[in-house]
Structure 1
Amino acid sequence: MSWTSWIVNVIIAIFLAVDAPKRGKRQWLWAILGFFFGAIALGIYLIQTGRKVLGWIITILAIIVYILIFIFAILAAALMMTGYS
């Protein structure tokens, strides 16, 4: 994981920690979820707090990105096992 993704996760965690008490949610729970799961936790939080359209967009895009990363990792591993010739 690059340092930029860590920064994005920290920003998401800070946002969730600040916004959660305003919406009647647990501050530390959402901050920890935001730090470890990033955009998916942010999307689920937005869905639960009534901002459903933006929440679903963020969640679906994050899942698509994670699936693409997983596919590229499998393809890279397959290329390394079979060789580049």
Structure 2
Amino acid sequence: MSGIISFIVEIIIAIYLYVDAPKHNKSPWLWAILGFFFGPFALGIYFIKTGRKVVGWIMVIVVGLLYLAFIVLVVLAAVLFANGFAP
């Protein structure tokens, strides 16, 4: 279920970037593809590039911290599985 929701969010971000990019003389296809594959991170970068710097930086920092937390949790889980959960 969460995979479907994230897919829908990525589609919405890609559509928004495709529609909004020509207003700022940016390539709509490039930003739509970036928005689809990188989602909120690409949206934050787009906001920074188009002059909405505060919202863009907040989005980039929050998404970056969430990605970092996910990576730390995956590495921690791998270490725990490798050691067999033994102290």
Q: Tell me the TM-score range normalised by the shorter chain.
A: over 0.9
**1:50 to 2:51 alignment:** yes
Alpha-carbon RMSD: 1.2
Alignment of 1:5-84 (within 5 A): 5-84=6-85
| TM-superposition CA deviations, 1:29-56 (whole Å, max 9, x none) | 0000000011111001000100000000
Partners of 1:37 and 1:19 lie apart in 2 by 17
Displacement after TM superposition at 1:6 (Å): 1.5
CA distance in 1, matches of 2:11, 2:60: 18
Please give the TM-score of this superposition, normalised by the length of structure 2. Answer: 0.91
Structure 2: gaps spanning 5 or more residues: none
Residue 22 (structure 1) shift: 1.2
**C-alpha distance in 1 between matches for 2:64 and 2:71:** 11
- Large movers: runs of 4+ above 4 Å: none
Q: Percent identity between the aligned chains?
A: 54
Query: Number of residue pairs matched?
Result: 85
